[in-house]
Amino acid sequence: MKTTIDVGIIGGSGLYQIDGVKIVDEVSVKTPWGIPSDIITIAEIEGVRAGFLPRHGRGHFILPHEINYRANIAALKMLGAGQIIAFSAVGSLKDRIKPLDFVIPDQIIDRTKSRISTFFGDGIAAHIAFADPFCSRLHELILVAAQHLNIAMHTKETLICMEGPAFSTRAESHLYRSWQAGVINMSTLPEAKLAREAEMCYAVICMSTDYDCWKEDEEHVTVDMVVNNLNKNASNAKALIKQLVPLLKQERTCACNQAIKYAIMTDPAKQPSKQKKKLKAILPHYFS
Ligand SMILES: [Zn+2]
């Protein structure tokens, strides 16, 4: 029987596995864009099947700019997921977002430089709408799931996604603060854009580990402190996953599953069959 999932969960720094839930399978997936960061662990929580993929690989051996984002998104879509909950360790750019707080951003600024951010090209042009980069339905469900957990949640924040792998300079950190951004990471783009192209709902749960480097009166941040915060955040993330996944069996009432409907510009007669065949793996309604 072919393995299928309802939802994809992408783990970031500190979150390399899910536990305390019923694991039903482990699958390796090959996509037209290559292989994802690791095998996908499939868990079943109250009848909903979630496929878990750590974006840096188990053991953390893939840097943010080295991740095959297209393979990761395609693999989850090819297993049947229509929605993705992503987790990411972030630095805080605001006083009130403390280490160990969670943030569900509603906007993002792209400061990445060297990444392939589309499934299209190679003869087929498409432009998706990305004004609201995250799924508002998932956003609401995450808040519902977090209600009974002891996690400080922030919303209506802007996330900066930087190239890395080095962290920001102090001048950059102050610049991002002047833009009123709330948190910073290195991996939500192009992940969110690719999920939108694949017509998947996507939301990211940012887990604050430290105050980036702008807060000069802050006690010196040590590796120990950051690792400790990563571990605490991972345990909160696992508790949140258990509450959230069962809520995701609700019908998708948002527009994410029609993102490509008016996005493809290329005359069907001019679309190269090789590229059509690749896109068919993730968008079978449009390419046959
Ligand atoms: Zn959606």
pLDDT score of 1 more than 60: no
Q: Domains along the chain?
A: 7-280 (3.40.50.1580)
Ligand 1 center–CA 257 separation, angstroms: 7
- CA 76–ligand 1 middle distance (angstroms): 15
Average pLDDT over residues 113-130: 97
**pLDDT per residue over 44-96, tens digit each?**
999 999 999 999 999 999 999 999 999 999 999 999 999 999 999 999 999 99
Which residues have a Cβ under 8 Å from the Cβ of 223 and sit 6 or more positions away? Answer: none
> Residue 179: pLDDT above 60?
yes
Q: Which residues have CB under 8 Å from 147's CB, separation 6+?
A: none
pLDDT at site 200: 98
Q: Which amino acids are annotated catalytic? A: 210, 212
Determine the Cα–Cα distance for residues 193 and 86; give it in Å rounded to an integer.
13
- Angstrom distance (rounded) from CA 78 to CA 254: 21
What do you get for the CA distance between the two ends of the chain, in Å? Answer: 24
Contact by Cβ (8 Å): 196, 259: yes
Q: Kindly give the distance from the C-alpha atom of residue 255 to the centroid of ligand 1, in angstroms, as a whole number.
A: 6
Write the CA distances from 150 to 154, 155, 159, 184, 195, integer angstroms: 13, 16, 23, 23, 30
Q: Residue 144: what are its φ and ψ, rounded to 5°?
A: -60, -45
Distance 29 CA to ligand 1 centre (A): 24
| Conformational region of residue 164, where left means phi above 0, alpha means psi within -120 to 50, and beta covers everything else | left
Cα torsion for 202, 208, 210, 214, to the nearest 10°? 60
Q: Is 124 helix (H, G, I), strand (E, B) or coil?
A: strand
Q: What pLDDT was estimated at residue 208?
A: 96
Distance of CA 239 to the CA centre of its chain: 18
Residue 240 pLDDT > 90, yes or no? yes
Residue 99 corresponds to which amino acid?
P
Mean predicted lDDT score pLDDT of the chain:
95
Q: Is the pLDDT of residue 246 over 90?
A: yes
Pairing of strands 83-92, 7-11: parallel
- The percent of residues in the chain predicted with pLDDT above 70, rounded, is 99
207 three-class SS: strand
Confidence of residue 101 (pLDDT cuts 50, 70, 90): very high
Give the three-state DSSP class for 183. strand
| pLDDT at residue 218, rounded to an integer | 65
pLDDT by residue (tens digit) across 254-268? 999 999 999 999 999
The pLDDT assigned to 87 comes to 98
Residue 38: pLDDT band with limits 50, 70, 90: very high
> Which pair of tokens denotes residue 271?
């679309």
Q: Tell me the CA–centroid distance for residue 219 and ligand 1, in Å.
A: 40
Once rounded to an integer, what is the mean pLDDT over residues 172-181?
Answer: 97
Task: Provide the token pair at 107.
Answer: 């906007």
Separation of 202 CA from ligand 1 center, angstroms?
7
Structure tokens given for 225: 């402190």
Centre of ligand 1 from the C-alpha of residue 179, in Å: 27
- Distance between Cα 28 and ligand 1 center (Å): 26
For range 129-145, the mean pLDDT: 97
Residues 155-182 have a mean pLDDT of 97
Closest CA to 247 of 97, 24, 47: 47
8 closest CA partner among 118, 64, 61, 87:
87
Report pLDDT for 224: 87
